[in-house]
Amino acid sequence: MLGLIVTNLSRRRGRTILTAFGVAVGVATIVALLALSTGLTQTAAGFVHLGGSDLGVFQAGVEDPTASLLPISVVGRLERNSDVAAATPLLLIVGGVKSSTSSIVFGADPDGFFSKRLVVVAGQPGSGKQVMIGDRLAAQLKLGPGKVLEVDGHRFSIAGVYHSGILFEDLGAVLPLSTAQQLSGRQGEETTVAVELASGVGSARATRSIQKELPGTLVIADAGEAARAGANEVLIHNATLVIIIVALIVGAISVTNTMAMAVLERQGEFALLSTIGWSAPRVATLVVGEGIGVSLLGAALGLLLGVIGSQLLVDAIGVQAFVSPSITAWGLGRGLLVGVSIGVLGGVYPAWRVTRMPPLKGLARA
């Protein structure tokens, strides 16, 4: 049976390739969107735990956490909370580096744990009007200590290059908080407060106590909450669901059309198989098998295109700092499952037609 399926598909290579390519486009889109969705969740985890913090405090009600604005007095109130071990303010400048628009510049308190945990890999910690840049940004822009980085039209000498292991930070730069506030016109304000919890305190308990003490704030403790706050993961999840449905419908129609044409062209062949003892279910299985075979070819190509395309898309639109595609076995499995489903759905109607075809009528047209 398998050998016959391969032979029949190879006899009509052009049609098989075109149908498989149509399936591949749908599968590739699904795989790429799933990779971006997973990547957003993982990147959000880094955004929540900036500087290795346990949670972040943001302004409630904003569409994007990076647009949050809080008064600097929030830090002192947090530090007086018995559930909090340390709190450090951060002011985020998004799009400030024109040569790398996806990079984020962090205004950070030099004495806070965020700044102290940066591992300097070249040069020395910044001071005064100097800036430090992440190792990924340094490699991207080919910059290092002694060179100049322009932020919002202002030139800053690079004191050193750091590594933190968090994507947002390593693709960004760090200025003293006061400098960042002056640069952005946000004196006395911060975007977020990175919080370290006291020993033995859970994030759920701390979230309740902080939001009770600081109404109007949003406490984010895990990646899921961060992704939902930005709405990006939800949008991509919904888009993926729509694409899966569309891919199933369009792919199934394409495969159905191909297999229906094959059934009409091969009536004599199917009739001959029936006369030599093939049962109707067995002939129908052959047709469905060919539909699955075409879809598997398309799915294999789609998986490859999806893996490559997701990274190319991120590179093309320059959002490496916000999302890094994450290819998972479950994501690839779902793409493959869609491909197989297309083959099954696309082969059902042609297979049914084969079972309804009178052998003598088929032989007469042979």
- The answer to whether residue 306 scores a pLDDT higher than 80 is yes
Angle, helices 13-48/329-355, rounded to nearest 10 degrees? 150
pLDDT at 226: 55
How far is residue 127's CA from residue 196's CA, in Å, rounded to a whole number?
A: 25
For the ranges 4-8, 53-57, 217-221, the lowest mean pLDDT is seen at: 4-8
Residue partners of 282: CB distance under 8 A and separation at least 6? none
Structural contact between residues 84 and 196, judged by C-beta atoms closer than 8 angstroms? yes
How far is residue 68's CA from residue 60's CA, in Å, rounded to a whole number?
A: 8
pLDDT at 122: 94
pLDDT at 44: 60
pLDDT at 239: 57
Q: 288: which 2 tokens? A: 């469905």
| pLDDT, mean of residues 237-259 | 70
pLDDT at 206: 93
| pLDDT, mean of residues 79-98 | 92
| pLDDT, mean of residues 335-344 | 84
Q: Which residue has the higher pLDDT, 23 or 173?
A: 173
pLDDT at 74: 94
Tens-digit pLDDT profile for residues 269-287:
777 777 777 787 887 888 8
Mean pLDDT of the chain: 82
Instruction: Please provide residue 78's backbone torsions phi and psi, each rounded to the nearest 5 degrees.
Output: -70, -40
How far is residue 30's CA from residue 26's CA, in Å, rounded to a whole number?
A: 6
Ordered alpha helix ranges (H), the chain: 2-11, 13-48, 73-79, 113-116, 135-141, 167-170, 177-184, 203-213, 223-230, 232-265, 267-275, 280-317, 329-355, 359-364
| pLDDT, mean of residues 298-311 | 87
| pLDDT, mean of residues 117-132 | 89
> CB-hemisphere CA count at 13 Å for 140?
21
- The answer to whether residue 243 scores a pLDDT higher than 70 is no
What percent of the chain shows pLDDT beyond 90? 32
| pLDDT, mean of residues 236-260 | 70
pLDDT at 366: 47
- 94: confidence class by pLDDT, cuts 50, 70, 90: confident
- The answer to whether residue 197 scores a pLDDT higher than 80 is yes
- The answer to whether residue 203 scores a pLDDT higher than 80 is yes
pLDDT at 272: 72
